[in-house]
Structure 1
Amino acid sequence: MKWLLILQDYQFYLKIEKGLAKNSIESYTLDVKKLISYLEENQITTTPITITEEIIQQFIYTISKKINARSQARLISGIRNFFDYLIFEEFRKDNPTDLIEAPKIGRKLPDTLSIEEIDLLINSIDLSEPQGERNRTILETLYSCGLRVSELTQLQLSDLFFDEGFIRVLGKGNKQRFVPINIQTQKYIKQYITTIRNHIEVQKGFEDTVFLNRRGKNLSRVMIFTIIKNLAIKTGIKKKISPHTFRHSFATHLLERGADLRAIQQMLGHESITTTEIYMHLDKSFLKKVINTFHPRK
């Protein structure tokens, strides 16, 4: 069995069976291609079926001299997933990476903004300019709904269910979820659509897109980053912030006010609760509050 042939089948599996996004599929593919390149460079003749733990261990050891611990852990995870696929398809009975340990890496806590800092950023927007109204609506939507930047740029007019108080979000792996949206943010979106968007000459293919640039096309991820970066400079906020910072702040502020972690998980679109649990580290006082409120021996 040839490597590139099975790699094509693996990519199809990731897309159809796992429903992964294009970027994720490319990342998993690159992990396997690095292993293939190592085998070719060192003239090691083996197949996906016959490759041994020792060969993969030597590959990891060699590449670890060129990448940091976090990248190394990510690579091992990607290679392990590939061999799990081979087991799933009954090409192999074992995973040669099972006994290979990934390096221990600390889990980085996400940066967050205080409510005052978020207000400062939003209030610094110049509303006398057309893009000011749009930019305020973007920040309000990021913060009030906890969206990823890609979810915001892909938001459609047909995704707005204001009568029900929800928006439909297309998340990772093309998975849909419904997220509550408050009345204030609804008002900003309606105002932006009425006063700004409806006066833009919308380009073909973007008729349903909510947030548009001046040329009538959807905003890029880079443009959203730039808007926030410029506002941070303008307000003097020294933290390293991005669109994702608003998502982190959304989750953190909800948790600090007693929101259920499972509910936050659903709103963020996290597949695993362990991803959401990182926010538990931000405010240990929340744990004390839970015990004092709900434990019978409080």
Structure 2
Amino acid sequence: MPTASTSVRLRVLPAISTLVAKRASAESGGAVAPDHWTEGPHYAEVRELLAAGFAPDAVLLTPGDARQAASWLESLRRAPRLALLPIFLNRSFGEAVDALSDGVASTPEAAAPEAAAIAARAASLSRRETAEGDERLLAFLYLRPERVLTPVADWRDERIYRYPLADALGRPGEDSFLMLERLRRRGLLETAGLVERVHTCPSCSAGQLLFVETCPQCGSIDTAEQNFLHCYSCGHVGTQDEYLTNEGLTCPKCAVRLRHIGVDYDRALETFA
């Protein structure tokens, strides 16, 4: 029986690494940005980190798959003690998952620059573990001034789009769309750009609707845009092709030559046939 030779490698087990910032003492006694980083404890699961009571300055995640990555990130972002921390993934797991992280960093050295920038701004931010919802989201964005909340397309969501980060940082069960709109109305957030327009149900706000243009007479979906003309002499309305002859435009009903728009004829509002 033939055998096949295959190459093998050591399987990468899911792991959570932590980073601890080392700060030089400030002469004024205030908080200062970190000047270097060291590795902290390692954990096999997020629940171990949450139960440990340890407060790292940054977290590096090495999940086994996208589902585990999403679960870990959501748990960390919902934990008051860890929600605002720089959290990195060892690789990209897709737009919806990556939105919950601070980017990809396979080593502590790769994570250090971004983590240091966040930590530098955090030094001037009063940490309140009880902060939630609006306040937590605003604090997160303050620590990351270049961050833009971009909706992620998800056909399973009733609105077709969702904001993973706002969902995780907001209060349990809170509508992230309403939260963001509330902050926009208060002048705390601004629109960065239009992604897409979605028709929603006026009763339940669901966006899983199918809009199809049909003929109002027969209901057919086989429609095409056409130019329609209206003859002033007899009132006939028809497609421009019906009026075209070798001599120009002639009404197919009364045979009157149509020379001047606005005098002999005009273009009807109907544009589909």
TM superposition score normalised by structure 1: 0.23
Larger RCO, structure (CA 8 Å, separation 6 or more) = 1
Q: Which has the higher strand share?
A: 2
- Structure number with the higher helix fraction is 1
